[in-house]
């Protein structure tokens, strides 16, 4: 008998994370909807369960070592393995001018966007290794591509934290891919998507389109790509 595929998505109470949970559970997968706030996470999971999907809430604050460890223990107890990890949780800068940004401002953002995916990937590695086809998707951004970020900064004004955090995440992806030959691990750029992060701006695509590339890399087979950066149109230059 084929075992049900298991997946966990961080920052999944809303936006692209929630849509990714919906899509993966729609494939008949068992999906752990991870969120830092219990009320918001349980409410999001309950809505998807009402739609008949196999979704389970797991409390997980990517900025907390203890919370990530507890989440990995909870998934271990419930399923014994994890086939797909989607590191989706992310935050943006608070809008402070570049010259006024203090080290602590950048540290808070890196806690979520950079140290978070490392913390979560490290904690879930034993569970991923128990899978026959383990996959990790790092939800990055075109802001993490150096030429794109320079162009953006010149046009709209420079930003310190978010682009540098996503560039770091991209590099982390390449190094994990070298280290973990048995795991497919890729970075993706969903593209500008209507979520709280973009203020649902009018020029944004719907979450259904943004989640497309996340789902694509979450569903690759054992011969699929690893250590690459994708958007909906294919490979993205680092």
Ligand X SMILES: NC(=O)c1ccc[n+]([C@@H]2O[C@H](COP(=O)([O-])OP(=O)(O)OC[C@H]3O[C@@H](n4cnc5c(N)ncnc54)[C@H](OP(=O)(O)O)[C@@H]3O)[C@@H](O)[C@H]2O)c1
Q: What are phi and psi of 61, to 5 degrees?
A: -100, 110
- Contact status: 164 vs ligand X (CB under 6 A): no
In this structure, the number of other CB atoms found within 10 A of the CB of residue 192 comes to: 16
Choices 13-21, 101-109, 117-125, 152-160; region in contact with ligand X by CB under 6 A: 13-21
> Which of 154, 156, 162, 216 is labelled catalytic?
162
Partnered with residue 230 across adjacent β-strands are 188, 235
| Radius of gyration in angstroms for the set of CA atoms belonging to the chain, rounded to a whole number | 17
Q: Are 128 and 68 in contact (CB under 8 A)?
A: no
Going from the C-alpha of 70 to that of each of 34, 77, 111, 199, the distances in angstroms are 12, 11, 18, 32
Q: Can you give the length of the chain in residues?
A: 238
DSSP 8-state symbol, 68: H
Among 9, 24, 53, 112, binds ligand X (CB under 6 A): 112
Q: In angstroms, what is the minimal distance from the CB of 216 to ligand X?
A: 15
Helix axes 103-110, 161-179, angle to 10 degrees: 40
Nearer to ligand X, 90 or 161 (CB): 90
Let me know if 176 is a catalytic residue: no
Among 53, 55, 89, 149, binds ligand X (CB under 6 A): 89
Nearer to ligand X, 3 or 37 (CB): 37
Q: What DSSP line would sit under 22-65, residue for residue?
A: HHHHHTT-EEEEEESSHHHHHHHHHHHHHTT--EEEEE--TT-H
Choices 77-85, 88-96, 118-126, 128-136; region in contact with ligand X by CB under 6 A: 88-96
Let me know if 166 is a catalytic residue: yes
Q: How many residues bind ligand X (CB under 6 A)?
A: 29
Among 76, 108, 133, 198, binds ligand X (CB under 6 A): 198
Q: How far apart are CA 122 and CA 220, in angstroms?
A: 21
Binding mask 37-76 for ligand X (x = CB under 6 A): x--x--------------------xxx-------------
Choices 46-54, 69-77, 87-95, 101-109; region in contact with ligand X by CB under 6 A: 87-95
Q: Which residues bind ligand X (CB under 6 A)?
A: 10-11, 13-17, 35-37, 40, 61-63, 88-91, 112, 139, 141, 189-190, 192-193, 195-198
User: Which positions are annotated as active-site residues?
Assistant: 162, 166
């Amino acid at each position: 008998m084929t075992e049900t595929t298991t997946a966990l998505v961080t920052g999944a109470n809303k936006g692209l994370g929630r849509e990714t949970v919906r899509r993966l559970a729609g494939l008949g997968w068992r999906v752990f909807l991870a969120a830092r706030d219990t009320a918001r996470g349980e409410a999001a999971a309950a809505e998807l369960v009402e739609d008949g999907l196999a979704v389970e809430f797991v409390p997980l604050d990517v900025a907390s070592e203890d919370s990530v460890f507890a989440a990995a223990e909870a998934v271990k107890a419930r399923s014994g393995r994890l086939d797909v990890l989607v590191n989706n949780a992310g935050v943006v800068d608070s809008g402070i001018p570049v010259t006024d940004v203090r080290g602590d401002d950048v540290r808070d953002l890196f806690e979520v966007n950079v140290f978070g995916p490392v913390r979560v990937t490290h904690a879930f590695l034993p569970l991923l290794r128990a899978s026959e086809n383990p996959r990790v998707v790092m939800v990055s951004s075109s802001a993490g591509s150096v030429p794109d970020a320079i162009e953006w900064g010149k046009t709209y004004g420079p930003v310190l934290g978010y682009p540098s955090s996503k560039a770091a995440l991209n590099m982390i992806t390449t190094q994990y891919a070298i280290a973990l030959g048995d795991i497919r691990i890729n970075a993706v750029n969903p593209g500008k998507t209507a979520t709280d992060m973009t203020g649902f701006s009018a020029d944004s695509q719907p979450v259904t389109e943004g989640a497309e590339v996340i789902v694509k890399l979450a569903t690759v087979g054992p011969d699929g790509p690893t250590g690459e950066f994708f958007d909906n149109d294919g490979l993205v230059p680092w």
